[in-house]
Structure 1
Amino acid sequence: MTPTRRQLAELTGDPAAAGGVRLVTLGDGAERGIRTLEFRTGSGLAFDVLVDRCMDIGAAEHAGRSFGWRSPTGFRHPGLHENADEDGLSWLRSFSGLMVTAGLDHTLFGGEVPADTYRYPPRTSVRHGLHGRAGSLPARLTGYGERWDGDRCVLWAEGEVRQAAIFAENLRLTRRIEADLGGDEIRLTDTVTNAGFEPTPHMFLYHINLGWPLLDEGARFEADIRETLWQTDSVAEQGADHLTLPGPVPGFVEQVYEHALNPDAQGLHRVAVVNDRLGMKVSVEWRAAQFPCFFEWLNLRSGNYAVGLEPSTHHVGGDAAAREDGSMIWLGPQESRTYQTTFRVETL
């Protein structure tokens, strides 16, 4: 039971004994220099917010058991990122953690699209890499700490990420992350604003990555799937089960699915990974109207073992297809869109 504010004051001279938020700077290897907010709720939930990587969520665990994926790249400093390298696939050299943001003007695979809306003759087109630029941009940290509302204590952090160029996009992401002292959920509220004055394309996706020990042989993927709209050729070639998940497989080729989900009565989508042996479930919940599309990324390769849950504003065709079929989101001058997502850890 979480103590009241008075009880906590009686029990300890420092509320950090129960939990809190601490700002540190990582100091070694490719991670050196990344400002990180360490959240501890006191229930066993602990996670890191990587301020200098779009305020994305890196390491995450509950009761000492990790559920945020840790890839071989580590949490690479954004100054090392080569956005246009390797034909746009260099994003894969900075890909790790519970959540990596894709956007703000492009998601999914790269390509070249017209730039005529920016009205700058030398810039006739824009070339995008995999999942856009946002995940490698540092945030301006505007605040963090603990806020009491009666006997409820909310741990919080807020920051701003700007993706901008002269004669190009001028997009601002305002991100707020909250967790309750004694609680088992992470609440994320993002607002993306066109801070400029030209119509600007907007695409947004969360690459939510779950790893071992939550992900293990026999773990289950749960979702109310109405229909699978698309899948990679590797699904037929390998046939790995995407509902009851296998263990690591040497040389596995990623299997990706676009599922159409049924929302609940409140208009929410909810998906989860469950490990019955571990007695642990991690779910993600979001508003269907904000993220109408969803991808399941199955990466069972030995050494890269992960499953990805990906709420998205757009279907798998990406930027060019969205422009062609009219589904591209065009943010007008000073126009905003807000996204609300909840991560929840349950003990079974």
Structure 2
Amino acid sequence: MKKLGNIKQIVSAYDVVFLNGAESGKNCILVHTGELEVLFNKDNALDISWVKYKGRNISFLSKNGINSVSGTFAEKFEGGFLYTCGMDNVSSCVENKPIHGSLHYRQASEVYHREENGTIVVGGKVRQTALFGSDLVLNREYTVSENGIRISDIVINEGYTADKYVLLYHINFGYPFLDEDLKAEMPIIKSEGLTEYARSRKNSQLLITPPADGGEEEVFYNYLADGCVKLKNEKIGVTCEMRYGTDDFPVTLQWKSMISGDYALGIEPSVTRFDDFQMRSLPPRGKRLYRIDILFDEAGEIFPQKDKAVSV
């Protein structure tokens, strides 16, 4: 520490506001921890708009970019590194609810960030409420180290009757991390394609191909031996590993779009599948923890051993 004039030389978090274009007015937190740069979006559920590692972009950002536009889901979906789906819908399973739920469109409150033992901790609360309806809170906390991100979310039912919720973590990868050089490792026990097109391409679901003009997206339901998914791009020398509990997330969806201009890969730990849609229940004042560790360059145990999901 004697070599530092200010801790922000090596780790920092700044509140930023975008001033131009479709993202104008967006309130965010820009975090640097040496190798990692992470942008948290306070206006969109404290989701992660982008991740860069060693100066390389890791995440997928759609043609829409960060935005506040109205319109259809396809017209405003920005992708980003983390787009949290829920708590009232995933996909289009629930009628009269936004595709992938309303959570992402809700602003975070009581937002904070601090330096802690060489890491940056970012947190806040996202409320999903309705008159004569839900009183749910997603209490979010992220820990960002030099080469990893820990997501710790607690779903809390602050109401006085039992309530239901659903969660899917839409983690999105894009170029240059996503390229035909990318190798995907997933301990798949069972896999099913969502559509006939996906089912016809099941044998190549982990194969990353060059972009093709036109075509269709592919979505798969994956059941894993353990919650560990590894993506490795040897060309740029970056590995990303996601770890989570299969009790928390019994199904991992895989979204694969090898389409020119929409070139993306999504790894999506979920509490449910779409065609057998099941919401989880919380008693009055009940809560449940969900945790995902995202590690770069085979960092090992850079966080304390993760807890299992618990109900309190």
TM-score using structure 1 length: 0.81
Change (3 A) 1:236 1:153: closer
Matched, 1:244 2:195: no
Structure 2 stretches of 5 or more lacking a match? Answer: 300-312
Match of 2:45 in 1: 54
- Which residue in 2 is equivalent to 1:123? none
Is the 1:51–1:141 Cα contact (8 Å) retained in structure 2?
A: no
Q: Which string of whole-angstrom CA distances, capped at 9 and with x for unpartnered residues, describes residues 53-102 of structure 1?
A: 1111111111111001111111113xx345xxx4xxx2651332101000
Among candidates 168, 177, 181, match of residue 205 of structure 1:
168
Answer yes or no: is the 8 Å Cα contact 2:193–2:218 preserved in 1. Answer: no
Shift in Å, 1:347: 7.0
Which residue of 1 is the match for residue 290 of structure 2? 339
State the secondary structure of the residue aligned to 2:274: coil
CA contact (8 A) 1:218 1:244 kept: no
Q: 1:21 aligns with which of 13, 36, 41?
A: 13
Q: 2:259 aligns with which of 277, 284, 301?
A: 301
What secondary structure does 2:25 align onto?
coil
Aligned to 2:308: none
Q: How many residues align?
A: 299
Question: C-alpha offsets along residues 293-329 of structure 1, whole Å, 9 cap, x if unaligned?
Answer: 11010011110100000000112325xx42xxxxx31
CA 1:280–1:187: 2 relative to 1, 3 Å: same
Q: Give the counterpart of 1:177 among 142, 147, 171.
A: 142
Is 1:108 matched up with 2:91?
A: yes
Of 30, 36, 48, the residue aligned with 1:45 is 36
User: Is residue 134 from structure 1 mapped to residue 126 from structure 2 by the alignment?
Assistant: no
Percent identity for Structure 1 against Structure 2 = 26
2:43 and 2:217 map into 1 onto residues whose CA distance is 28
Aligned amino acid, residue 230 of structure 2: A
Following the alignment from structure 1 to structure 2, what is the Cα–Cα distance between the partners of residues 215 and 178? 24
SS of residue matched to 2:50: strand
Q: Is the 8 A contact 1:179 1:187 kept in 2?
A: yes
On the 8 A contact 1:91/1:129 being kept in 2, the answer is no
Give the conservation status (yes or no) of the 8 Å contact 2:193–2:202: no
**DSSP-derived class of the 1:204 partner:** strand
In structure 2, relative to structure 1, the CA distance for the partners of 1:186 and 1:106 (3 Å cut) is same
The answer on whether the counterparts of 1:221 and 1:242 sit within 8 Å (CA) in structure 2 is: no
Residues 28-48 of structure 1 deviation map (CA, whole Å, 9 limit, x = unaligned): 111111111111111x21111
1:144 paired residue among 110, 113, 120: 113
Superposition deviation, residue 281 in structure 1: 1.1
Please give the root-mean-square deviation of Cα atoms over the aligned residues, in Å.
1.9
Distance (whole Å) between structure 1 residues aligned to residue 160 and residue 202 of structure 2: 48
> 1-side partners of 2:296 and 2:202: how far apart?
29
Following the alignment from structure 1 to structure 2, what is the Cα–Cα distance between the partners of residues 136 and 91? 14
Closer, same or farther: CA 179–225 of 1 in aligned 2, 3 Å: same
What do residues 223-258 of structure 1 show as CA deviations (whole Å, max 9, x unaligned)? 100111343212255678322200111112110000
In the alignment, structure 1 segments of 5+ residues that lack a partner are 1-7, 113-126, 264-268, 323-327
CA distance in 2, matches of 1:333, 1:278: 49
CA offsets 1:144-174 (integer angstroms, 9 cap, x no match): 1212xxxx32211110111111022221111
CA distance in 1, matches of 2:219, 2:58: 20
Partner in structure 2 of residue 325 of structure 1: none
Contact 1:205 1:310 in 2 (8 A): yes
Question: Match of 1:145, as an amino acid?
Answer: R
Please give the alpha-carbon distance, in whole angstroms, between the structure 1 residues aligned to 2:157 and 2:75.
Answer: 27
